Amino acid sequence: MDKLPLTSKDILAEKIARIREEFPEVFSEGKIDFERLKMALGEFVDNGRERYGLSWAGKSEAIRNIQTPSVGTLLPVPEESVNFDTSENLIIEGDNLEVLKLFQKSYHGKIKMIYIDPPYNTGNEFIYPDNFREGLEDYLRYSGQVDGDGIKLTTNTETDGRFHSKWLSMMYPRLFLAKNLLRDDGLIFVSIDDHEAHNLRQIMNEIFGEEHFIANIAWEKRYTRSNNAKLFYSLKDTILVYRRSSVVETLREERNEKSDSIYSNPDNDPRGPWTSSSYVNPATKEERPNLVYPITNPFTGEVVEHETHAWKYERAEHERHAQENRLWWGKNGDAKYPRLKNFLSESDGGLVPIDLWKYEDSGTTDEGGAELKALFGTSVFDNPKPTKLVKRMLKLATRPNEGDIVLDFFAGSGTTGQAVLDLNQEDGGNRRFILVQLPEKTGEEDFQKVSDITKARIKRWIDKSKEDNRLFESSGFKFFRLASSNFKIWNADAKAQGADALVQRLRLFIENILPERTQQDLLFEIVLKSGLPLTAPIDQLEVRGHAVFSVGEGILFICLADSITEDTLHGMVSLRPRNIICLDAAFHGNDNLKTNTKLLMESHGIEFHTV
């Protein structure tokens, strides 16, 4: 009987399987023979000792961290949610590395846009320390879900010796896993300051590919200078933008009054307002001799050539421009060289984005703080990003009515969630958000964890929208909390001390479900680890006397009954789902029923698992 895997996707095993499929000849006794692999790859192997790239102390361990599957789950918390049954937005409390691992099946290639504002490496407390080596177990101690001393946060000072390495080891696996979640036409935006901007660019080049770098945006985060700095005072942050693949070929920003104000019509052209661009090529005459020819000024009859440079257009295209009255020689025809008229009516509906985002169009950190204060009445979070900044990204990367999913796994105060809701409200869109935030301690009484602020912000935005009669259907969120699996998972590395201890361990696994977990907890873990999203529609059916959950409009049937009958199994098969999952304990050791069930499912093309 095939058991449903209770770990997240094994990324290493998947990569090895792909290599085996493409290069079966490089395997010897189940292992990869690197000499054979080098031969198979030929000239694409770099055998040199000195190579370009970024390395740091701990990089190998960071890569191994990617390869270690998670055995956690996400517990639903309806009482801390808003519209749990209907909302397709998610807020998740937990370590984002574990959550990203758990998402590898369900959300692989489904995220349209990622925006993260990770911890800046400024020498303060490092919230995601590199001693999270045991993954989930360390997190459970940190969050108080299991007994232990907890994880002590230390100051990551520049005198540490691994100041940059710790930060890079934290970021690398998270960015690697995040890339897997992006759609082929997806974009990722990452905010950073000058401490790690250069290193972040390096690791993103490695993970996403240099060819998928799009922009290094300078965001003007404040507009007043201070004399507190000794050398330079920073008015900007950096936002790195990468695409998932070359499917993204063009990006456009929406037009607005400010952008359209550059158009005018001084010559009353019947085609309407226009702006002009230079007719002179940056290349010299020697560099582009095919673009060197005389041009006649129709007003003065003077024949002109540029003194040092070529024209931008070939002669035939120039003659078309002249015939169509697209050349502007100044109001009185006295310009030295022509300019090309570009008409507003012929624009493609958008503007090419620029890599300098001024505060007028993208907001400031002061505005971000004011937005929080408007909801909470006080400052509850330091230096939050303004929603205007995130909405500018959303307008570039998403479309209003395509159900695009936006992920922020360093959610902080929840700016991204509010920005999605705000923009949906403005344009009638149905974008959805996923916010992930560590339950970092705040030391405050009202909001003891940062994740409490994240959740409360979205709740308060919804309440305010109700008061203003501006609430819409996509409001709300499902709240989940990272925890250990609902099922007892055998630890093969743990050695029992003697035969009696081993027997005792085996007895604990006779009943493999943790006693404090609910049926709903089990249901969502099975949905997630079956590769379906947490927002997949779930309906409850009665099939020949047993409750059965139909997930994803009949894609998956889940029966959590303590005891299963042959009649119920036949009833589920008759409804033709693609997959059926039952509790292993429900067969009560009846191996004949298990075998017959497996054969029955196979004969109907249904994938069957137990948990």
Residue 43 has pLDDT above 80, yes or no: no
Residue closest to 526 by CA, chosen among 584, 572, 477: 584
Residue 529 has pLDDT above 50, yes or no: yes
> What percent of the chain has a predicted confidence (pLDDT) above 70?
89
Residue closest to 53 by CA, chosen among 173, 186, 210, 184: 210
Residue closest to 407 by CA, chosen among 124, 59, 91: 91
Across 252-269, average pLDDT: 84
For the chain, what is the mean pLDDT?
88
Q: Give the pLDDT confidence score for residue 262 in this predicted structure.
A: 83
- Looking from the CA of 450 toward its CB, the CA atoms found within 13 Å total 20
Q: Give the pLDDT confidence score for residue 241 in this predicted structure.
A: 98
CA–CA distance from 187 to each of 100, 114, 205, 214, 400 (Å)? 17, 6, 14, 9, 16
* Predicted structure pTM score: 0.84
Q: Render pLDDT for 386-414 as a digit per residue (tens, 0 to 9).
A: 999 999 999 999 999 999 999 999 999 99
Q: Give the pLDDT confidence score for residue 128 in this predicted structure.
A: 55
Reduce the DSSP state of residue 78 to 3 states and report it.
helix
Q: Give the pLDDT confidence score for residue 499 in this predicted structure.
A: 63
Residue 147 has pLDDT above 80, yes or no: no
Q: Between residues 211 and 589, which one has the greater pLDDT? A: 211
Cα three-residue angle 85-586-3, rounded to 5 degrees: 80
Q: Render pLDDT for 186-207 as a digit per residue (tens, 0 to 9).
A: 999 999 998 889 999 999 999 9
- Delineate the domains of the chain, giving CATH numbers in brackets: 64-252+352-484 (3.40.50.150), 257-346 (no CATH), 499-610 (no CATH)
CA–CA distance from 124 to each of 128, 199, 259, 587 (Å)? 12, 18, 41, 55
Across 289-310, average pLDDT: 95
User: What one-character DSSP code corresponds to residue 358?
Assistant: -
The terminus-to-terminus CA distance of the chain in angstroms comes to: 10
pLDDT band with cut points at 50, 70 and 90 for residue 488: confident
Q: Give the pLDDT confidence score for residue 439 in this predicted structure.
A: 93
Beta strands (DSSP E) in 106-254 are 111-116, 182-192, 213-220, 236-243, 253-254
Q: Give the pLDDT confidence score for residue 494 in this predicted structure.
A: 55
Q: Give the pLDDT confidence score for residue 15 in this predicted structure.
A: 83
Q: Give the pLDDT confidence score for residue 502 in this predicted structure.
A: 53
C-alpha span between 336 and 305 (Å, rounded): 10
Q: Between residues 200 and 43, which one has the greater pLDDT? A: 200
Q: Give the pLDDT confidence score for residue 40 in this predicted structure.
A: 79
Across 153-178, average pLDDT: 77
C-alpha span between 521 and 75 (Å, rounded): 6
pLDDT band with cut points at 50, 70 and 90 for residue 160: low
pLDDT band with cut points at 50, 70 and 90 for residue 130: very low
Q: Give the pLDDT confidence score for residue 534 in this predicted structure.
A: 97
Residue 10 has pLDDT above 60, yes or no: yes
Q: Render pLDDT for 80-111 as a digit per residue (tens, 0 to 9).
A: 999 999 999 999 999 999 999 999 999 999 99
pLDDT band with cut points at 50, 70 and 90 for residue 498: low
Reduce the DSSP state of residue 96 to 3 states and report it.
helix
> What percent of the chain has a predicted confidence (pLDDT) above 90?
64
Across 426-455, average pLDDT: 93
Structural contact between residues 252 and 349, judged by C-beta atoms closer than 8 angstroms? yes
